Chain A
Amino acid sequence: MVRAQVLICGGTGCTSSGSVKLIPEFEAQIAKNGLEDEIKIVKTGCFGLCELGPVVIVYPDGTFYSRVEESDVKEIVEEHLLKGRIVERLAYTDVAADAVVKGNVSLSDTRFYSKQKRVALRNCGVIDPENIEEYIAMDGYAALGKALTEMTPEEVIKTVMDSGLRGRGGGGFPTGLKWSFTAKNQADQKYVVCNADEGDPGAFMDRSVLEGDPHCLVEAMAICGYATGATEGYVYVRAEYPIAVARLQKAIDDARAYGLLGKNIFDSGFDFDLFIRLGAGAFVCGEETALMTSIEGNRGEPRPRPPYPAVKGLFGKPTTENNVETFANIPQIILKGAEFFNSMGTEKSKGTKVFALGGKINNTGLVEIPMGTTLREVIEDIGGGIPNGKKFKAAQTGGPSGGCLPASLLDIQIDYDNLVAQGAMMGSGGLIVMDEDTCMVDIAKFFLEFTVDESCGKCTPCRIGTKRLYEILEKITSGNGTLADLDEMENLCYYIKENSLCGLGQTAPNPVLSTYKQFKDEYIAHVVDKKCPAGVCKSLLSIVIEADKCKGCTLCSRVCPVGAISGTVKNPHVIDQSKCIKCGACIEKCKFGAISKK
Chain B
Amino acid sequence: MKSLAELAAIREKMQGKVVLREGSGDIRVVVGMATCGIAAGARPVLNAFVEEINNRDLAGKVTVSQTGCIGICQFEPVVEVFEADKEKVTYVKMTPDKAKEVIEKHIIGGKVIEEYTVSNI
What is A's interface to B at a CB cutoff of 8 Å? Answer: 1-5, 7, 38, 40, 59-62, 82-85, 106, 126-127, 133-134, 136-139, 141-142, 145, 149, 258-260, 264-267
Contacts and interface: CB of A to CB of B under 8 A. Distances in A.
Contact of A85 (B15, B51, B68): B68
Contact of B50 (A1, A84, A134, A267): A1
A62 B23 contact: yes
Contacts of A134: 14, 17-18
Contacts of B4: 142, 145, 149, 266
Given A1-B47, A38-B50, A60-B23, A258 B1 contact: yes
Contact of B66 (A83, A127, A138, A265): A83
Given A2-B50, A137-B15, A141-B7, A266 B1 contact: yes
The 7 closest A-B pairs by CB, nearest first: A84-B66, A137-B14, A259-B1, A3-B50, A84-B33, A1-B51, A85-B68
B72 to A, nearest CB: 16
A259 B2 contact: yes
A502 B11 CA distance: 45
B54 interface: yes
Interface string B25-38: 10000111111011
Nearest to A34: B43
Contacts of A3: 46-47, 49-50, 64
A85 to B, nearest CB: 4
Nearest to B4: A145
Contacts of B23: 59-62, 106
A136 B34 contact: no
B3 to A, nearest CB: 6
18 contacts: A1-B54, A2-B17, A3-B46, A38-B46, A38-B50, A60-B64, A83-B35, A83-B68, A84-B65, A85-B67, A106-B23, A133-B10, A136-B11, A141-B1, A149-B4, A264-B2, A266-B3, A267-B3
A265 B2 CA distance: 6
B20 A84 contact: no
A162 B19 CA distance: 32
A60 B31 contact: no
Between A38, A134, A137, the greatest number of chain B beta carbons within 10 A of the residue's beta carbon is seen for A137
Contact of A142 (B11, B35, B37): B11
Contacts of B35: 83
Nearest to A35: B43
